[in-house]
Amino acid sequence: MTDSAKPTLLVVDGHSLAYRAFFALPVDNFSTKDGQHTNGIYGFLSMFVNLVKAEKPTHLAVAFDTSRQSFRTREYAEYKANRSESPAEFKGQIPLLQECLQAMNVRVLTKEDVEADDILATLATQGAALGYDVLVCSGDRDTIQLVTDDVTLLYPNVQGVSQLKRYTPDAVVEKYGLPPEKYPDIAALVGETSDNLPGVPKVGEKTAVKWLTQYGSLDELLTRADEIKGVVGGNLREHIDGVRRNRALNTLLRDVELEVGPADLEVQPIDPEAVRDIFSRLEFRTLLPRVFDAMGADPAETPARPGATAPTATEPDPAQLAAWVAAAGGEVGVTLVLQGGLPVRIGLATADAAVETAWTEEAAAALRPWLEGDAPKVLTDAKPQVKALRRAGAHLGGLAFDTLLAGWLLRPSLPDKNLADLVGRYLDETLPEADPTQLVPETEGATPGQLSWYTLRVAAALRAELPESVAGVLADIELPTLDTLADMELAGVAVSHEKLSTFSAELAARADAIAQQAYATIEREVNLGSPKQLQEVLFDQLQLPKTRKTKTGYSTDAAVLADLQETNPHPFLDLLLQHREAMKLRQIIESLDVAIAADGRIRTTYLQTGSQTGRLSSTDPNLQNIPIRNEESSRIRAAFEVGAGYETLLTADYSQIEMRIMAHLSGDPGLVEAFNSGEDLHRFVGARVFGVEPADVTPAMRTKVKAMSYGLVYGLSAFGLSKQLRIEQTEAKQLMMEYFARFGAVRDYLRSSVEQARIDGFTETIFGRRRPFPDLSSPNRVLRENAERAALNAPIQGSAADIMKIALFRIHGEFAAEQLASRVLLQIHDELVVEVAPGEWDAVERIVRSRMGDAAELTVPLDVQIGRGADWNEAGH
């Protein structure tokens, strides 16, 4: 009980523990997709949060070495000289670890010319003198000398850093047979190979302890060294200078001048946003809640700041509600609580008041004029709410702001997915949420009215940060698109269960037959879906040459198998490829089949914040990756049919939209001419590159320039081009040179756009959508070059996405304005699928063609291809 009042100071040697973690965890298992290794950081932080959670220090610091040089190396040049350079994979991790600790508001201490352990020694000594309980955590055995009744050492076990052994004075005596202050004497005699401090040959711990016990002290032992008999006695006398030197060097400094003392190290609340940022960069997910938990980011302990208490929502009757919204004036936050896709409750808020009510017929009727009118409304994740209102027969008008969309536009790489995330990031507060694991939650969740109030405040914070151009993208592109997507999702697309199930059964039978044949060729049965078992078959049993390395072994992907088939033909390879193809198709068909609703339609969800470039993504099921490339897949597309009550499907796609954007942005005269000439793009480019007439461009030439043109948009290298075209790198290089000799402005544009992004820190589309690229100035080459390719692509892919969205909502709007029953069903990046009502084909075709064609004013035309058919396969031709 007396100890509860006593402050606890925890000081940690960051470098030594991170280094141990580095070796304890497999480096290959811990790296970001960009190639940054993180095993040392992860291992350290994992240990660190456990430690903090278990020990609950009141004061905390982590010390690091500044370099390998210190006063010890100056006094003894050989000190640690045998240490090999720490691995390159480890080096970069220390600054990132320090960044993590800073985000957690943990004091990071360094001092020129001394080692981290000297800082620990100084703080431990000062802390003990001030009456603290001191915990020292280090992987360096020399810190044993710091142990006293007030100072406990936590020392990692051999395995790694997860288990820490507690060294109290008793534990030291038990382990070494002498009290902690004598440990440096033992170490001086035994030596420390890792520090390049040789000890007395043939003297280990046992002998050292025996001597020290016998003579009482190291000094006494050394002065009476001649009393010791035998070889070891001689060894001792020969190495007396070395022992004295060891003893001098292994004494930790307890009087290092530091800018802070123990009292300055009080534990601070973490910076949640900074921690989220750095952890998401390092791709730590499971660690995040552990850090929040251990570092006391508990909502109960960090109450919302003063002035941030949500108003208590009142529950006016419907008539009062109508009066309330009429009087509200400015923007109103709106939150609909949904159940089964329908609204059950609605909460509204202004800056200082909140109201809410059950979604009854009376309430809906009272609110409808306001809800459907132009009065400005602010929501978080409006799309599901807009859909629910549609199902309930209402329409949301005046959508002025969606915080989720705005947050994504501002930081498209972040995983913020709900109001709670946004409140944390932009208000630095915690959204009150009921604990879903408790039947009777201790903490009340925010009510719908209060959620609306938070939404309004988040919106204000976002607006303050939103650059004008990005605000324009929100208002002029994203919000109109949201409304369109809601209708598309509600409509769904008719899919024939009969067609799918017939095909699925066929494929299952085929896959089975292929598998049997494959087993026969290798005379055993394996799981053809297991990369691990396949590696055994290919590289052990069949002794095929090893392929491209992956994290866990050797690749068995389609490209690799095709290569193997050429160099080392084996029937198994081809059968495996056929099996994969059949299984993949079957799997896609199955996932579609189970998604067909009772009315025969599939409804996807478009994620409007699902990409970093501005594209949509589609999920549950993904209707943006339905196969098209081979013969078989046309049968899948044929299952997407025109629905009952409609006449036909229309498909409309932009041809080469990304190359057209490139022509526009670069202003390259050759490329612009190509698109204005009406000639086939690749034929035109091929003619220029190879110096022949367009009519004389061979298919091989066309293939090459086509790959080159598309590759450009992705930052393709000569290496990549040679691999894709299966040509020599020199030929690929030659091709690129010829290409740029004719279309030089393209290269100039790509280069300058990346350079501009490096200066600005972000890229921008034609319409002002931004994407940040902090890694463009990273010293890490892998990181930087990855960012460069992404930055090169972002304005092009993003502008295409902008153009398609603009076309999409304008088409949607025009269908409504002309009171057409036809409706857009699908968007696949550069293609739209429209369900055309009887008698509306001409109007629909006109609208789609013109709105897609004039969605943007470029220096080259936007070419639109239209197809018509009873199913998606037919319409796509």
Partner DNA sequence: TAATCTACGTA
Partner DNA sequence: CGTACGTAGATTAT
Instruction: List interacting residues with DNA (CB under 7 A).
Output: 26, 29, 283, 285-286, 527, 529-533, 550-553, 555-559, 577, 580-581, 584, 587-588, 591, 607, 610-613, 615, 617-622, 624-630, 633, 707, 710-711, 714-717, 719-720, 723-724, 785-786, 789-790, 793-794, 797, 828-831
Burial class (CB in 10 A: 0-12, 13-18, 19+), 694: middle
Which residues touch 543 (CB under 8 Å, ≥6 apart)?
Answer: none
Q: In the bound complex, what is the minimum distance in angstroms from residue 492's beta carbon to DNA?
A: 15
Q: Do 406 and 462 touch, CB atoms closer than 8 A? A: yes
Half-sphere exposure of 682 (CA within 13 A, CB side): 15
Q: Which is nearer to DNA, 215 or 714 (CB)?
A: 714
Buried b (16+ CB within 10 A) or exposed e, 312-328: ebeebebeebbebbeeb
Burial class (CB in 10 A: 0-12, 13-18, 19+), 473: buried
Which residues touch 460 (CB under 8 Å, ≥6 apart)?
Answer: none
Q: Which is nearer to DNA, 113 or 785 (CB)?
A: 785
Q: Do 836 and 859 touch, CB atoms closer than 8 A? A: no
Q: In the bound complex, what is the minimum distance in angstroms from residue 534's beta carbon to DNA?
A: 7
Give the single-character DSSP code of 540: I
Query: Cα torsion for 288, 291, 295, 297, to the nearest 10°?
Result: 20
* Residue 434, helix vs strand vs coil: coil
Q: In the bound complex, what is the minimum distance in angstroms from residue 833's beta carbon to DNA?
A: 11
Output the CA–CA distances (angstroms, integers) from residue 738 to 226, 540, 689, 745, in the order listed. Answer: 85, 45, 6, 13
Closest CA to 593 of 726, 474, 489, 503: 503
Upstream peptide bond of 621 is cis (omega within 30 degrees of 0): yes
Q: Which is nearer to DNA, 105 or 612 (CB)?
A: 612
In SS3 terms, 222-290 reads as HHCHHHCCHHHHHHHHHCHHHHHHHHHHCCCCCCCCCCCCHHHHECCCCCHHHHHHHHHHHCCCCHHHH
Q: In the bound complex, what is the minimum distance in angstroms from residue 683's beta carbon to DNA?
A: 19
Q: In the bound complex, what is the minimum distance in angstroms from residue 707's beta carbon to DNA?
A: 7
Q: Which is nearer to DNA, 524 or 551 (CB)?
A: 551
Amino acid at 446: A
Q: In the bound complex, what is the minimum distance in angstroms from residue 792's beta carbon to DNA?
A: 7
Q: Which is nearer to DNA, 86 or 717 (CB)?
A: 717
Q: In the bound complex, what is the minimum distance in angstroms from residue 171's beta carbon to DNA?
A: 28
Q: In the bound complex, what is the minimum distance in angstroms from residue 163's beta carbon to DNA?
A: 14
Integer Cα distance of 347 and 360 in angstroms = 13
Closest CA to 497 of 596, 587, 588, 602: 596
Bridge partners (DSSP) of residue 769 are: none
Q: In the bound complex, what is the minimum distance in angstroms from residue 200's beta carbon to DNA?
A: 42
Integer Cα distance of 313 and 311 in angstroms = 6
How many C-beta neighbours within 10 Å does residue 55 have?
17
Q: Which is nearer to DNA, 456 or 661 (CB)?
A: 661
Q: Which is nearer to DNA, 26 or 230 (CB)?
A: 26
Q: Which is nearer to DNA, 2 or 630 (CB)?
A: 630
Q: In the bound complex, what is the minimum distance in angstroms from residue 499's beta carbon to DNA?
A: 18
Q: Which is nearer to DNA, 789 or 849 (CB)?
A: 789
Closest CA to 588 of 641, 635, 650: 635
Output the CA–CA distances (angstroms, integers) from residue 461 to 403, 407, 427, 770, 772, in the order listed. Answer: 10, 10, 7, 18, 19
Q: Which is nearer to DNA, 539 or 841 (CB)?
A: 539
Q: 842: which 2 tokens? A: 């001409």
Q: Which is nearer to DNA, 714 or 841 (CB)?
A: 714
Q: Which is nearer to DNA, 287 or 701 (CB)?
A: 287
Q: Which is nearer to DNA, 324 or 767 (CB)?
A: 767
Q: Which is nearer to DNA, 198 or 531 (CB)?
A: 531
Integer Cα distance of 458 and 460 in angstroms = 5
Q: In the bound complex, what is the minimum distance in angstroms from residue 645's beta carbon to DNA?
A: 28
Q: In the bound complex, what is the minimum distance in angstroms from residue 856's beta carbon to DNA?
A: 16
Q: In the bound complex, what is the minimum distance in angstroms from residue 613's beta carbon to DNA?
A: 5
Q: Which is nearer to DNA, 321 or 602 (CB)?
A: 602
Q: Which is nearer to DNA, 637 or 812 (CB)?
A: 637
Integer Cα distance of 401 and 672 in angstroms = 38
Q: In the bound complex, what is the minimum distance in angstroms from residue 33's beta carbon to DNA?
A: 8
* Residue 19, helix vs strand vs coil: helix
Q: In the bound complex, what is the minimum distance in angstroms from residue 136's beta carbon to DNA?
A: 26
Q: 668: which 2 tokens? A: 């390259």
Q: 173: which 2 tokens? A: 């005596």
Which residues touch 119 (CB under 8 Å, ≥6 apart)?
Answer: 11, 63, 109, 110, 111, 256, 258
Q: 285: which 2 tokens? A: 């997910």
Integer Cα distance of 426 and 574 in angstroms = 54
Q: Which is nearer to DNA, 590 or 814 (CB)?
A: 590
Q: Which is nearer to DNA, 447 or 797 (CB)?
A: 797
Q: In the bound complex, what is the minimum distance in angstroms from residue 672's beta carbon to DNA?
A: 22
Which residues touch 16 (CB under 8 Å, ≥6 apart)?
Answer: 116, 117, 138, 139, 140
Bridge partners (DSSP) of residue 151 are: 134
Q: In the bound complex, what is the minimum distance in angstroms from residue 838's beta carbon to DNA?
A: 28
Q: In the bound complex, what is the minimum distance in angstroms from residue 530's beta carbon to DNA?
A: 3
